[in-house]
Amino acid sequence: MLSAKISKRKIDFLDKSIVLIPPYPPQAGTDNLRTLQNISAFYHLCPNTLFIGWDWDNHFNLHISSIFSAASDFYFHTHLANDYELSKFCTYKYHMPSGAYQWSRSFLTENIDLIMRHDRISDVFRTL
């Protein structure tokens, strides 16, 4: 049974979409635990949706960043701190250091085929 906050309407809306999660809600929001629970729930309930996690604070909060990376198909971390530890929570080849704090619409549009062509692997500790 879906919770009131995660309705079928919301899941249907996100189906086959790209969701870019900025760093503020999971890292500096007022209710980090609930935010991480919601991100993780949507990730598992929306298998046809691409989740891109953009994390500025992976060097401070390993516990938050590990959940954030596990609920991301592509995880962009800003620092190499905790890189090894975070590589154990999702497929490491989809951990990409951020080259900048912003992506332009043209960059995302030009690379959409590359972004969309991979199947999701969500098993923890699975190797290719």
Place of tokens 């090894």: 84
Length of the chain: 128
| Per-domain residue ranges of the chain | 17-113
Q: What pLDDT sits at residue 47?
A: 93
CB 76 within 8 A of CB 45: no
Q: Which of 5, 97, 90 is nearest to 42 (CA)?
A: 5
> What order of strands is seen across the sheet that includes strand 95-97?
18-21, 50-55, 74-77, 95-97
pLDDT reading at 80 higher than 50: yes
**Which two three-digit tokens encode residue 124?**
């923890």
pTM for the structure as a whole? 0.67
Q: Over the stretch 36-71, which tens digit does the pLDDT of each residue have?
A: 888 899 999 999 999 988 888 777 788 888 888 888
pLDDT reading at 101 higher than 60: no
Q: Over the stretch 27-42, which tens digit does the pLDDT of each residue have?
A: 776 788 888 888 899 9
What distance in Å separates the CA atoms of residue 71 and residue 35, rounded to the nearest whole number? Answer: 12
What distance in Å separates the CA atoms of residue 59 and residue 70, rounded to the nearest whole number? Answer: 16
Q: Which of 39, 64, 63 is nearest to 52 (CA)?
A: 39
